[in-house]
Structure 1
Amino acid sequence: MIPTITWFNIPADDTGRARAFYKKVFAWNVEPFPGMEQAGTFEISTGGIGGEILLRSHTGEPITVFIGVSSVDDYATRAAGSGGRIVIQKTAVPGRGYFAICEDTEQNRFGLWEDDPRAG
């Protein structure tokens, strides 16, 4: 498996406003994320990789890309051992998989994603 970008997150102060923007500009299908409707989270279908619009955690939070890997644990360890760091440890997304957020040597953040429908 060659790690490739598989997902992206777009942080927003107003997820409804961001939804309208991306639908209008790119004609993406942007619908409420199943199980996350109360949080105002939207799932994006681009015809290529998918993504989501979610509430911003902090000012200046950038769009984050997620790289699909065979093992979040292995690739997070590789990132940390190569001069980067793990910002958010491996976290389960129930029924979908696991993610972690890392930082490279230039303080750019990226996510790691491991598909696993057994995640809980």
Structure 2
Amino acid sequence: MSASNPVVWFEIYTDDLARARAFYEAVLDVTMEPLPMPGDMDGFQMLAFPASMDNPGAGGTLCKMEGVSPGMGGTLVYFNCADCAIEAGRVEAAGGKLHQAKMSIGDYGNIALAFDTEGNMFGLHSMG
């Protein structure tokens, strides 16, 4: 493995792409855009989170694909925030469920944990 951060891409699977899009746009205060599929990938749709190839961190998408279900599966994605309490405060109004309010993780900052409208758990991280 190289010396860079290990995560370069993420995909969050959903049963209802429009519902998941509305949830993440409301909680993270972003606008997501459709990501065109290369080649023949019938039944696979993606909506991209805002990202820049020039900045550190991983880009990713919401995905809908036949035969792949969302939910608890062992992978947890953390979104970077200035203050994770702000985004955590938007979760329930957007249709999700807050699992853990902002809490300290010592020298590593703070986290909050929530479930999206599809049953996926995700994290919010901030240094402040």
After TM superposition, the score normalised by the length of structure 1 is 0.47
More strand by share: 1
